[in-house]
Chain A
Amino acid sequence: MFGKLIKNEFKSTAHSVMYIYLAAVITIAMMLLSYSVKLKWISTLSTVALMLISVIAVIITLVAVISGFYKSLYGAQGYLSFTLPVKSGELLASKALVSFVWILLSYIIAVSIWIGIYFYAAAKIGQDRITAIKELMKAFQGIPGEKAIKQMLIFLGIMVFVQITVLISQIYFSITLANTRVFQKYGMITALFIFFAVYIVMQILAMLLTTYVPVTLSATQDGLAVSFSNNMMSMDGIAFGLTGTVFQILAAAGLFTATSYLMKHKINVK
């Protein structure tokens, strides 16, 4: 059943987001065409269009995630969703997983577009960015080392995954709580207030935990290592806070659990 939920969730959400990705593909094709026919105005126009598309893709994806979750569960479609013979946890997990994929895809497209434009622009004025980066690393005398940089990139990738998951958990919890009997009468604007309240509280708690429980990941010459200092820069290397990240993972798990509980026990589809 979980596989079917995911399949149908992809079908449902694709309608909202696919046009912007189609626009991105067409624009990239136009850019590539402009290189071969050497038409400067097309490559300039395509560059500007891609920059806009990269931002719009992220916004449209987030809007689709929010409106899709609300409409499919707390609009009239809720009569269909909540009477399916599936557990509320499975229903929630399928939506979260599909939303995660779409948001990650939008981030990848946005970052790829900007990196592509950066290297393209640098090459146009005769600059070799890759050589420049290597020279910069030499200037830092190998701190952090190449191994550490690779590990950092993996860690940053994991951080992006965590941040997307946290964002989804906050959105889902806010919308669900706003649709319980206590808040339903105030309308959907309540979800916005709940979201910001949850976000701010989580940020404050993460900051406090980072200050008083300073567990960090330091990027040194030999790779990443766990340390118990809250100095972000030291002679050993660059440090990344771990406490806040662990807290956010646990908090996201808590928010998903709370959302599932509310969906099962406290929601009345209107």
Chain B
Amino acid sequence: MSKIIQVKNLSKSYGSHRVLENISFEYDAGQCIGLLGPNGCGKTTLIKILTGLINDYEGEVLINGQKPGVQSKALVAYLPEKSYLPDWMRAVDTIRYLSDFYRDFDTEKAMKMLETFQLPAKQKVKSMSKGMQEKLQLLLVVCRNAELYILDEPIGGVDPAARAFILDTIFSNLPADSTTLISTHLIHDVEGIFNRALMIGNGRILKNEPVKNGRIGENTIEDVFKEVFGYVWQVN
């Protein structure tokens, strides 16, 4: 059985600025991976490569044995950090749009979740508050029956109650055998969820460790994070 994510000797530069430096890792399906690191360390660039948004890089990237492309995009449900829905669409239009392009999209579930989230089906995205747009985007992702979910800072910029709601929504709706990659720098709220912690700093992998009960070995993920990135900041 092929790995769900395989990255070999991946490097990416923007001009003379090296963002990712020869990184390699691979994961079996069914895991929850925490992609951790401070701002500007290369997390979003890595995510964009995995989701097929960036295609000029060195090295090899495979999603379920395939290069990022049409086939892999059908398997991946991506929640970017920013709001990406067209202003003119109503909530129901976004559901219809995704059901047009993704065979694994559950329209019935999405319509029910609109009610649960108290999002009016005929309200336009441009008239929604930021919180409502985030809920709608989250709904669209969790209503996919994807093989790989990639969530970029899903709990960044929201209050603790909202963070708990988002995490609960994510993990009560995703298929049990799916793989989830969550990028975050808010370790404390999510460390109990991960099976693996992938820490990136200065474009390199600093830690790639199994996690059990929120711990890497005997230390909490947060403690390891502070230890690892304290060192990185000293180097910088």
Contacts and interface: CB of A to CB of B under 8 A. Distances in A.
Nearest to B13: A181
A85 B73 contact: yes
Nearest to B14: A181
A49 B231 CA distance: 70
Contacts of A82: 52-53
Interface in B66-112: 70-71, 73-74, 76, 78, 80, 82-86, 88, 93, 97, 100-102
B48 interface: yes
Contacts, number: 59
A265 interface: yes
B59 to A, nearest CB: 15
B51 A85 contact: no
Given A77-B86, A83-B73, A83-B78, A266 B101 contact: no
Contacts of A264: 55
A72 B86 CA distance: 8
B53 A86 contact: no
Interface residues of A, number: 26
A22 interface: no
A264 B52 CA distance: 9
Contact of B56 (A78, A85, A266): A266
A182 B42 CA distance: 20
Nearest to B54: A268
Interface in B104-125: none
A108 to B, nearest CB: 25
Nearest to A185: B15
B82 A76 contact: yes
Contact of A79 (B53, B56, B76, B101): B53
Contacts of B93: 11
A238 B188 CA distance: 80
7 contacts: A12-B88, A15-B88, A83-B78, A86-B101, A181-B14, A265-B56, A269-B48
Interface of B: 14-15, 48, 51-56, 70-71, 73-74, 76, 78, 80, 82-86, 88, 93, 97, 100-102
5 smallest CB-CB distances across A and B, nearest first, come from A85-B74, A79-B84, A85-B73, A79-B80, A4-B100
